Chains A and B, each alone.
Chain A
Amino acid sequence: MLTTLHKQLLNDYQHNFPLSARPYQDIADALDVTEADVLSALTELNDNNFISRIGPVIPPNHIGVSALVAMSVPEQQLQTVADKISAYPEVNHNYEREHRFNLWFVVIASDTEHLCTVIDAIEQETSYKAMQLPMLDDFFIDLGFKLDLNND
Protein backbone atom coordinates (compact mmCIF):
# COMPACT_ATOMS: atom_id res chain seq x y z
CA MET A 1 0.00 0.00 0.00
CA LEU A 2 1.44 3.35 -1.00
CA THR A 3 1.47 6.06 1.64
CA THR A 4 1.16 9.77 0.92
CA LEU A 5 4.92 10.05 1.32
CA HIS A 6 5.52 7.24 -1.18
CA LYS A 7 3.26 8.97 -3.70
CA GLN A 8 4.96 12.32 -3.19
CA LEU A 9 8.37 10.76 -3.69
CA LEU A 10 7.21 8.94 -6.83
CA ASN A 11 5.59 11.93 -8.46
CA ASP A 12 7.43 15.00 -7.22
CA TYR A 13 11.06 13.89 -7.42
CA GLN A 14 11.40 12.40 -10.89
CA HIS A 15 13.23 15.54 -11.85
CA ASN A 16 14.87 18.38 -9.95
CA PHE A 17 16.18 15.99 -7.33
CA PRO A 18 18.23 18.17 -4.93
CA LEU A 19 21.89 18.52 -5.81
CA SER A 20 22.99 19.40 -2.30
CA ALA A 21 25.05 17.74 0.42
CA ARG A 22 21.94 16.38 2.20
CA PRO A 23 19.39 15.88 -0.58
CA TYR A 24 17.13 13.57 1.43
CA GLN A 25 17.08 16.08 4.28
CA ASP A 26 16.05 18.79 1.79
CA ILE A 27 13.24 16.59 0.53
CA ALA A 28 12.21 15.87 4.11
CA ASP A 29 12.10 19.60 4.88
CA ALA A 30 9.96 20.25 1.81
CA LEU A 31 7.53 17.47 2.75
CA ASP A 32 7.54 18.19 6.47
CA VAL A 33 8.84 14.78 7.50
CA THR A 34 12.23 13.58 8.78
CA GLU A 35 15.22 12.50 6.73
CA ALA A 36 14.84 9.02 8.24
CA ASP A 37 11.23 8.91 6.95
CA VAL A 38 12.42 9.74 3.44
CA LEU A 39 15.24 7.19 3.52
CA SER A 40 12.97 4.41 4.73
CA ALA A 41 10.19 5.29 2.26
CA LEU A 42 12.66 5.18 -0.65
CA THR A 43 14.07 1.89 0.59
CA GLU A 44 10.52 0.49 0.70
CA LEU A 45 9.81 1.68 -2.84
CA ASN A 46 13.02 0.06 -3.95
CA ASP A 47 12.36 -3.20 -2.09
CA ASN A 48 8.87 -3.38 -3.58
CA ASN A 49 10.29 -2.87 -7.05
CA PHE A 50 8.38 0.37 -7.68
CA ILE A 51 11.51 2.32 -8.54
CA SER A 52 14.59 1.18 -10.36
CA ARG A 53 16.96 3.74 -8.87
CA ILE A 54 17.53 7.37 -8.15
CA GLY A 55 19.87 8.81 -10.69
CA PRO A 56 20.46 10.73 -13.87
CA VAL A 57 18.76 10.16 -17.20
CA ILE A 58 21.41 10.70 -19.82
CA PRO A 59 20.26 11.60 -23.33
CA PRO A 60 21.10 9.03 -25.99
CA ASN A 61 24.37 9.22 -27.87
CA HIS A 62 26.11 11.69 -25.58
CA ILE A 63 28.10 9.05 -23.79
CA GLY A 64 28.60 6.11 -26.04
CA VAL A 65 26.30 5.22 -28.92
CA SER A 66 23.06 3.28 -29.10
CA ALA A 67 20.62 1.83 -31.56
CA LEU A 68 17.13 0.45 -31.46
CA VAL A 69 17.07 -2.89 -33.25
CA ALA A 70 14.05 -4.81 -34.55
CA MET A 71 13.85 -8.48 -35.48
CA SER A 72 11.19 -10.69 -36.93
CA VAL A 73 11.33 -14.04 -35.14
CA PRO A 74 8.92 -17.01 -35.38
CA GLU A 75 6.78 -17.15 -32.25
CA GLN A 76 7.97 -20.59 -31.15
CA GLN A 77 11.58 -19.40 -31.15
CA LEU A 78 11.01 -15.99 -29.65
CA GLN A 79 11.83 -16.79 -26.03
CA THR A 80 15.05 -18.61 -26.95
CA VAL A 81 16.23 -15.85 -29.27
CA ALA A 82 15.24 -13.16 -26.75
CA ASP A 83 17.18 -14.91 -23.98
CA LYS A 84 20.28 -15.06 -26.15
CA ILE A 85 20.01 -11.34 -26.87
CA SER A 86 19.28 -10.38 -23.24
CA ALA A 87 22.48 -12.12 -22.20
CA TYR A 88 24.54 -9.39 -23.87
CA PRO A 89 25.46 -6.75 -21.27
CA GLU A 90 25.22 -4.13 -24.05
CA VAL A 91 21.49 -4.84 -24.43
CA ASN A 92 19.40 -2.85 -21.98
CA HIS A 93 15.82 -3.12 -23.22
CA ASN A 94 14.40 -6.17 -24.89
CA TYR A 95 10.67 -6.36 -25.57
CA GLU A 96 8.19 -8.39 -27.49
CA ARG A 97 5.84 -6.19 -29.50
CA GLU A 98 2.67 -7.18 -31.31
CA HIS A 99 3.84 -6.92 -34.90
CA ARG A 100 5.60 -8.85 -37.66
CA PHE A 101 8.72 -7.26 -36.22
CA ASN A 102 8.10 -8.81 -32.83
CA LEU A 103 11.38 -8.38 -30.99
CA TRP A 104 12.70 -4.90 -30.17
CA PHE A 105 15.86 -4.24 -28.26
CA VAL A 106 18.26 -1.41 -27.55
CA VAL A 107 22.03 -1.86 -27.77
CA ILE A 108 24.33 0.61 -26.03
CA ALA A 109 28.05 0.60 -26.70
CA SER A 110 31.14 2.72 -26.19
CA ASP A 111 31.51 3.62 -29.86
CA THR A 112 30.20 2.74 -33.31
CA GLU A 113 32.69 -0.06 -33.80
CA HIS A 114 31.69 -1.71 -30.53
CA LEU A 115 28.01 -1.28 -31.46
CA CYS A 116 28.51 -2.95 -34.85
CA THR A 117 30.47 -5.79 -33.28
CA VAL A 118 27.66 -6.51 -30.84
CA ILE A 119 24.92 -6.37 -33.48
CA ASP A 120 26.96 -8.59 -35.84
CA ALA A 121 27.49 -11.07 -33.01
CA ILE A 122 23.74 -11.10 -32.26
CA GLU A 123 22.91 -11.72 -35.93
CA GLN A 124 25.45 -14.54 -36.09
CA GLU A 125 24.28 -16.16 -32.89
CA THR A 126 20.55 -15.96 -33.61
CA SER A 127 20.65 -16.22 -37.44
CA TYR A 128 18.03 -13.49 -37.71
CA LYS A 129 18.47 -10.20 -39.47
CA ALA A 130 18.75 -7.15 -37.23
CA MET A 131 17.08 -4.01 -38.56
CA GLN A 132 18.99 -1.08 -37.09
CA LEU A 133 17.13 2.09 -36.22
CA PRO A 134 19.54 4.55 -34.63
CA MET A 135 18.14 7.75 -33.20
CA LEU A 136 18.54 10.79 -35.45
CA ASP A 137 16.79 13.37 -33.33
CA ASP A 138 15.23 13.47 -29.88
CA PHE A 139 12.23 15.76 -29.48
CA PHE A 140 11.31 14.79 -25.98
CA ILE A 141 11.94 17.01 -22.98
CA ASP A 142 12.02 14.54 -20.14
CA LEU A 143 10.37 15.84 -17.01
CA GLY A 144 9.45 12.43 -15.69
CA PHE A 145 6.03 10.86 -15.88
CA LYS A 146 2.93 12.00 -14.03
CA LEU A 147 1.58 8.92 -12.26
CA ASP A 148 -2.05 8.70 -11.27
CA LEU A 149 -1.74 6.78 -8.01
CA ASN A 150 -5.19 7.50 -6.62
CA ASN A 151 -6.52 4.01 -7.08
CA ASP A 152 -3.71 2.33 -5.21
Chain B
Amino acid sequence: MIEARDRQLLEHIQLGLPVCSRPYAEIGQLCDMPETEVIERLTRLKQQGLIKRMGVIVKHRQLGYRANAMIVWNVPDNLIKQLGGHISRFSFVTLCYQRPKQPEWPYNLYCMIHGKDKSTVLSQLEQLIDACGLSGFDQEILFSNRCFKQRGAIYQRAAHADVRATLVAQQPETAHIVGD
Protein backbone atom coordinates (compact mmCIF):
# COMPACT_ATOMS: atom_id res chain seq x y z
CA MET B 1 0.00 0.00 0.00
CA ILE B 2 0.93 3.63 -0.06
CA GLU B 3 2.82 5.60 2.58
CA ALA B 4 1.04 8.25 4.63
CA ARG B 5 2.85 11.30 3.22
CA ASP B 6 2.21 10.19 -0.37
CA ARG B 7 -1.40 9.64 0.45
CA GLN B 8 -1.69 13.06 2.02
CA LEU B 9 -0.12 14.63 -1.07
CA LEU B 10 -2.45 12.75 -3.43
CA GLU B 11 -5.47 13.77 -1.39
CA HIS B 12 -4.61 17.39 -2.05
CA ILE B 13 -3.43 17.21 -5.62
CA GLN B 14 -6.28 15.03 -6.88
CA LEU B 15 -8.60 17.98 -6.44
CA GLY B 16 -6.61 19.77 -9.12
CA LEU B 17 -3.26 21.43 -9.65
CA PRO B 18 -3.58 25.20 -9.24
CA VAL B 19 -3.20 27.22 -12.44
CA CYS B 20 -0.44 29.57 -11.30
CA SER B 21 3.27 29.97 -11.74
CA ARG B 22 4.45 27.64 -8.92
CA PRO B 23 1.61 25.13 -8.53
CA TYR B 24 3.62 22.45 -6.75
CA ALA B 25 4.72 25.00 -4.14
CA GLU B 26 1.05 25.80 -3.49
CA ILE B 27 0.18 22.13 -3.12
CA GLY B 28 3.17 21.86 -0.79
CA GLN B 29 1.80 24.60 1.43
CA LEU B 30 -1.46 22.70 1.79
CA CYS B 31 0.30 19.58 3.04
CA ASP B 32 3.29 21.17 4.74
CA MET B 33 5.84 19.90 2.27
CA PRO B 34 8.54 21.80 0.36
CA GLU B 35 8.02 22.19 -3.39
CA THR B 36 10.99 19.93 -4.16
CA GLU B 37 9.53 17.13 -2.04
CA VAL B 38 6.16 17.45 -3.80
CA ILE B 39 7.85 17.10 -7.18
CA GLU B 40 10.08 14.21 -6.04
CA ARG B 41 7.18 12.30 -4.55
CA LEU B 42 4.99 12.79 -7.63
CA THR B 43 7.83 11.70 -9.91
CA ARG B 44 8.32 8.54 -7.87
CA LEU B 45 4.59 7.79 -7.65
CA LYS B 46 4.41 8.04 -11.41
CA GLN B 47 7.39 5.72 -11.87
CA GLN B 48 5.77 3.24 -9.49
CA GLY B 49 2.49 3.37 -11.38
CA LEU B 50 0.54 4.78 -8.42
CA ILE B 51 -0.11 7.72 -10.68
CA LYS B 52 -1.30 6.33 -13.98
CA ARG B 53 -0.96 9.62 -15.75
CA MET B 54 -0.60 13.22 -14.77
CA GLY B 55 -2.10 15.95 -16.88
CA VAL B 56 -5.14 17.69 -18.26
CA ILE B 57 -8.36 15.79 -17.62
CA VAL B 58 -10.74 16.59 -20.43
CA LYS B 59 -14.52 16.56 -20.44
CA HIS B 60 -15.43 14.45 -23.42
CA ARG B 61 -19.08 15.40 -23.63
CA GLN B 62 -18.38 19.11 -23.74
CA LEU B 63 -15.79 18.54 -26.44
CA GLY B 64 -18.27 16.81 -28.73
CA TYR B 65 -17.79 13.20 -27.67
CA ARG B 66 -21.39 12.53 -26.77
CA ALA B 67 -21.67 8.80 -27.35
CA ASN B 68 -20.30 6.51 -24.69
CA ALA B 69 -20.69 2.77 -24.82
CA MET B 70 -19.77 0.24 -22.22
CA ILE B 71 -19.33 -3.11 -23.96
CA VAL B 72 -19.26 -6.31 -21.95
CA TRP B 73 -18.30 -9.85 -23.00
CA ASN B 74 -18.41 -13.27 -21.47
CA VAL B 75 -15.00 -14.74 -22.26
CA PRO B 76 -13.15 -17.75 -20.82
CA ASP B 77 -10.97 -16.75 -17.85
CA ASN B 78 -7.84 -18.14 -19.46
CA LEU B 79 -8.19 -15.76 -22.43
CA ILE B 80 -9.09 -12.64 -20.52
CA LYS B 81 -5.61 -11.15 -20.04
CA GLN B 82 -4.68 -11.63 -23.66
CA LEU B 83 -7.97 -10.19 -24.94
CA GLY B 84 -7.87 -7.31 -22.45
CA GLY B 85 -4.33 -6.46 -23.50
CA HIS B 86 -5.33 -6.50 -27.16
CA ILE B 87 -8.45 -4.36 -26.66
CA SER B 88 -6.47 -1.79 -24.65
CA ARG B 89 -4.22 -1.05 -27.60
CA PHE B 90 -6.97 0.66 -29.60
CA SER B 91 -6.83 4.44 -29.33
CA PHE B 92 -10.62 4.84 -29.09
CA VAL B 93 -10.85 2.50 -26.08
CA THR B 94 -10.88 4.47 -22.85
CA LEU B 95 -11.10 1.71 -20.21
CA CYS B 96 -10.70 -2.05 -20.13
CA TYR B 97 -11.38 -4.08 -17.00
CA GLN B 98 -12.06 -7.56 -15.74
CA ARG B 99 -14.96 -7.81 -13.29
CA PRO B 100 -16.60 -10.85 -11.68
CA LYS B 101 -19.62 -12.53 -13.26
CA GLN B 102 -22.83 -12.42 -11.26
CA PRO B 103 -25.88 -14.71 -11.35
CA GLU B 104 -27.85 -12.16 -13.36
CA TRP B 105 -24.86 -10.85 -15.27
CA PRO B 106 -22.65 -13.40 -17.04
CA TYR B 107 -20.00 -10.92 -18.26
CA ASN B 108 -16.41 -10.58 -17.14
CA LEU B 109 -14.63 -8.35 -19.68
CA TYR B 110 -15.52 -4.66 -19.97
CA CYS B 111 -14.40 -1.92 -22.27
CA MET B 112 -15.48 1.66 -22.83
CA ILE B 113 -15.55 3.55 -26.11
CA HIS B 114 -16.12 7.31 -26.34
CA GLY B 115 -17.09 8.71 -29.73
CA LYS B 116 -18.76 11.68 -31.33
CA ASP B 117 -21.90 9.70 -32.14
CA LYS B 118 -23.36 6.21 -31.81
CA SER B 119 -22.64 5.14 -35.37
CA THR B 120 -18.95 5.99 -34.99
CA VAL B 121 -18.79 4.03 -31.76
CA LEU B 122 -20.52 1.05 -33.36
CA SER B 123 -18.14 0.98 -36.29
CA GLN B 124 -15.16 1.24 -33.95
CA LEU B 125 -16.61 -1.64 -31.97
CA GLU B 126 -16.93 -3.70 -35.14
CA GLN B 127 -13.28 -3.02 -35.90
CA LEU B 128 -12.35 -4.07 -32.36
CA ILE B 129 -14.37 -7.30 -32.54
CA ASP B 130 -12.76 -8.26 -35.84
CA ALA B 131 -9.21 -7.44 -34.78
CA CYS B 132 -9.40 -9.12 -31.37
CA GLY B 133 -11.48 -12.14 -32.40
CA LEU B 134 -14.35 -11.30 -30.07
CA SER B 135 -17.22 -12.27 -32.38
CA GLY B 136 -17.80 -15.69 -30.83
CA PHE B 137 -18.45 -14.42 -27.31
CA ASP B 138 -21.71 -13.25 -25.74
CA GLN B 139 -21.73 -9.48 -25.73
CA GLU B 140 -23.89 -6.53 -24.71
CA ILE B 141 -23.57 -2.86 -25.59
CA LEU B 142 -24.79 -0.32 -23.05
CA PHE B 143 -24.85 3.24 -24.30
CA SER B 144 -24.96 5.91 -21.66
CA ASN B 145 -27.94 8.17 -21.53
CA ARG B 146 -28.43 10.68 -18.75
CA CYS B 147 -25.43 11.57 -16.63
CA PHE B 148 -26.54 12.10 -13.05
CA LYS B 149 -23.14 12.69 -11.56
CA GLN B 150 -19.57 12.61 -12.75
CA ARG B 151 -16.32 13.75 -11.32
CA GLY B 152 -12.81 12.43 -11.12
CA ALA B 153 -12.21 9.47 -8.90
CA ILE B 154 -11.72 11.21 -5.60
CA TYR B 155 -10.35 9.01 -2.91
CA GLN B 156 -11.27 10.01 0.57
CA ARG B 157 -11.13 8.72 4.08
CA ALA B 158 -14.33 8.14 5.96
CA ALA B 159 -13.29 10.56 8.67
CA HIS B 160 -11.58 13.25 6.64
CA ALA B 161 -13.87 16.16 7.34
CA ASP B 162 -12.00 18.80 5.32
CA VAL B 163 -11.76 16.78 2.15
CA ARG B 164 -15.36 15.72 2.42
CA ALA B 165 -16.50 19.31 2.77
CA THR B 166 -14.57 20.20 -0.39
CA LEU B 167 -16.01 17.25 -2.23
CA VAL B 168 -19.58 17.99 -1.39
CA ALA B 169 -19.07 21.52 -2.61
CA GLN B 170 -17.57 20.36 -5.90
CA GLN B 171 -19.56 20.69 -9.08
CA PRO B 172 -20.41 17.34 -10.56
CA GLU B 173 -18.77 16.93 -13.91
CA THR B 174 -20.56 15.73 -16.94
CA ALA B 175 -18.03 13.56 -18.62
CA HIS B 176 -14.71 12.35 -17.51
CA ILE B 177 -13.34 8.90 -17.36
CA VAL B 178 -11.11 7.51 -14.76
CA GLY B 179 -10.39 4.14 -13.44
CA ASP B 180 -13.35 3.42 -11.32
A interface vs B, CB < 8 Å?
Answer: 9-10, 13-17, 19-25, 35, 39, 42-43, 45-46, 48-60, 62-64, 66-68, 70, 78-79, 82-83, 85-86, 89-99, 101-102, 104-106, 108-111, 114, 131-149, 151-152
Contact = CB atoms under 8 A, between A and B. Distances in A.
Contact of B56 (A17, A58, A102): A17
B55 A14 contact: yes
Interface of B: 1-2, 7, 10, 13-17, 19-25, 35, 39, 42-43, 45-46, 49-60, 62-65, 70, 80-81, 84-85, 87-88, 91, 93-100, 102, 104-105, 108, 114, 116, 140, 142-158, 164, 167-168, 172-174, 176-180
Contacts of B80: 137
Given A21-B35, A135-B97, A13 B55 contact: yes
B100 to A, nearest CB: 6
A45 B56 CA distance: 10
A146 B95 CA distance: 14
Contacts of B70: 97, 104
B96 A138 contact: yes
Contact of A16 (B17, B22, B55): B55
A112 to B, nearest CB: 12
Contacts of A95: 144-148, 150
A112 B78 CA distance: 27
